[in-house]
Homo-oligomer: A and B are copies of this chain.
Amino acid sequence: MARSRAKDYDDKRLSMLHRSAELFAASGYVGTSMNTIADACGVSKALLYHYYPDKEAILFDILSSHLAKLLAALRKASAQAGDPAARFRTIVATLLELYRHADAEHQVQISSLKLLPKDKQQPLLASERILVGIMSDALAAAVPAAKQKRVLKPLTMSIFGMLNWHYMWFREGGPMTRAEYAGFVAQLVLAGADDAAAAATRPRGKAKSAGRSRQAELL
């Protein structure tokens, strides 16, 4: 029964990984002891050390499996057929949907990735950069202004800002569904980015309204 044993082993490992992420998210990485993790997972500390050589390996596994999931899904979404705007919308919706059960992993990524030694950070940061690149490429195809070099990065990071901040306030059963909020963010960008890019070239300008600045852009 080596096969089913291995499966149990992996199920248990994944469940321990998620529980650890929840504890790290709530109390911080250093603030969560191996004893606490073991207790919360209902295993002995010795068993915990059977799965992971040390605490750092747990943190690394949380982040690398989280980022691997995001990367696989966004690669798939960005390869879909259809026009650039639809592809951009799909990428935004896919990312927000992936966050549904990964709030803890997401918070750990934000606040604890930097606690790893540099050499363990490196492959994780590389994955993050690829994710950003997928979003940037989709934007450059879907939004005219995003083709300007000075606009692409701020616009890309604005979208990650909106999506990556959602864990702070978004609640299931709130004013919008998850899919609705994804549509909201995507459309905010599709409808507003060109105007925003024009506005950012003259930050001291006293444009009286969005309408006026839209006209200015069209000149």
Please give the residue numbers on chain A whose beta carbons come within 8 Å of chain B beta carbons, in ascending order: 26-31, 83, 85-86, 93, 107, 110-112, 114-115, 149-151, 153-155, 157-158, 160-166, 168-170, 174-177, 179-206, 208-210, 213-214
Contact = CB atoms under 8 A, between A and B. Distances in A.
Nearest to A204: B179
A200 B187 contact: yes
Given A115-B27, A162-B158, A196 B191 contact: yes
B184 A196 contact: yes
B195 A191 contact: yes
Interface of A is mostly: helix
A111 B111 contact: yes
Contacts of A191: 191-192, 194-196, 210, 213-214
Contacts of A115: 27-28, 31
Contact of A188 (B85, B183, B192): B192
A197 B192 CA distance: 12
Contact of A192 (B157, B181, B195): B195
Contacts of A196: 183-185, 187-188, 191-192
Contact of A187 (B28, B206, B210): B210
6 contacts: A30-B31, A187-B192, A187-B196, A187-B199, A190-B209, A192-B192
Contacts of A201: 180
Contacts of A204: 179
Nearest to A198: B187
A150 to B, nearest CB: 4
A151 B129 CA distance: 31
A162 B183 CA distance: 17
